[in-house]
């Protein structure tokens, strides 16, 4: 085989576009990462979505308190996401070093843990402001896909959560410089995260990456799969349903959009898990697929619970489709004006 024939698959494939995960590199330990910026983008879009829904009276809260609601959601996502990651994916490491739980800058946020945090934050806000929980949940469901799309793009920039080894015949398969094979060939194994990123960037500039690239396996870009399924497709499903509801001039029962989101995300995530590289802590020689419950991975197991919750909410809404809308909870009693001290 000639050299040109051997190099043809590498020359024709889509190259992974390396971008420094640090958007702004300040002196010292403080950096601004694309991952954090995408969370900021997601919450900002979510704020405007919820404010729009409140102004249309779909979300039954005063638009002035939407900022407080988003603040509660931010806390729920970060705390729930971190605790979820520790409990679902890294509990042994946490037991060995409990201080790791606060090292959010090292990565490690679980979507399913963040979802639990969002539910708790929404329940707290609903109780505090005397709003129906599922009405708030429907509003959150309409805002979440934008953030999911943004964060999955950040996962792609970080070169994390890449997919399983793919066939060379798949035209969009990519070679990731964060692949264990690539890190070993570049001498980046075991380095701290920032040093590893800088070494990869230098390898791209010097040509060292191009020299070893053909030895790195092609993989599914599963981060992009998740961005398209969990972000774009689920978002189109939800906003298409919202447009249909508005067009018909009706008000669907509370829980329809929350149910659609849970069902859509759970199905999409379960599908993408078939192409996503299993977490290393769940893999071994006897179980290369990293299953934790029968044939299911951890992501599929947690997503199955979301699917069941979504089906329950949709069934609940369907069974109440002819019932009149639930009345607003009574407002808290007003207090008499305080008298100044005499």
Lowest-pLDDT range of 70-84, 171-185, 212-226, 318-332 = 318-332
Kindly give the pairing relationship between strand 31-33 and strand 22-25: antiparallel
pLDDT tens digits along 1-19: 444 444 445 556 899 999 9
Mean pLDDT score, 282-300: 89
Average pLDDT, the chain: 89
- For residue 289, name the pLDDT band (cuts at 50, 70, 90): confident
212-228 residue pLDDT tens: 999 999 999 999 999 99
Beta pairing partners, 219 = 165, 174
32 bridge partner residues: 24
Cβ atoms 267, 314 nearer than 8 A: no
Contact 167/194 with Cβ under 8 angstroms? no
Total residue length of the chain: 342
DSSP character string of 82-133? HHHHHHHH-HHHHHH-GGGGG-GGG----HHHHHHHHHHHHHHHHHHHT--H
């Amino acid at each position: 085989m000639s050299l040109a024939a051997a190099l043809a698959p590498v020359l024709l494939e889509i190259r992974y576009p390396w971008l420094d995960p640090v958007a702004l590199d300040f002196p010292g330990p403080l950096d601004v990462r694309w991952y954090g910026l995408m969370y900021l983008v997601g919450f900002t879009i979510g704020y405007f979505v919820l404010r729009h829904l409140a102004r249309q009276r779909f979300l039954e809260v005063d638009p002035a308190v939407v900022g407080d609601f988003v603040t509660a959601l931010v806390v729920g996502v970060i705390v729930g996401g971190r605790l979820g990651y520790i409990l679902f994916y890294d509990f042994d490491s946490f037991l060995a070093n409990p201080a790791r739980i606060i090292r959010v800058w090292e990565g490690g946020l679980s979507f399913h843990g963040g979802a639990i945090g969002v539910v708790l934050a929404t329940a707290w806000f609903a109780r505090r402001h005397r709003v129906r929980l599922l009405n708030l949940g429907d509003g959150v469901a309409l805002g979440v896909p934008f953030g999911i799309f943004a964060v999955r793009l950040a996962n792609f920039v970080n070169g994390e959560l890449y997919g399983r080894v793919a066939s060379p015949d798949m035209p969009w398969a990519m070679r990731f410089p964060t692949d264990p094979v690539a890190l070993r060939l570049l001498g980046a194994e075991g380095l701290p995260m920032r040093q590893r990123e800088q070494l990869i960037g230098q390898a791209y500039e010097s040509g060292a990456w191009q020299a070893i690239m053909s030895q790195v396996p092609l993989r599914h870009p599963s981060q992009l799969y998740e961005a398209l399924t969990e972000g774009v497709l689920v978002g189109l499903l939800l906003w298409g349903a919202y447009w249909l509801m508005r067009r018909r001039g009706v008000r669907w029962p509370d829980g329809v959009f929350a149910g659609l989101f849970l069902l859509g995300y759970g199905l999409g995530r379960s599908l993408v898990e078939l192409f996503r590289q299993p977490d290393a802590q769940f893999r071994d020689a006897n179980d290369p697929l990293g299953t934790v419950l029968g044939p299911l991975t951890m992501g599929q197991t947690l997503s199955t619970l979301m699917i069941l919750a979504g089906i329950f909410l949709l069934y609940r809404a369907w069974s109440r489709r002819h019932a009149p809308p639930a009345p607003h909870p009574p407002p808290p009693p007003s207090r008499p004006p305080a008298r100044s001290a005499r």
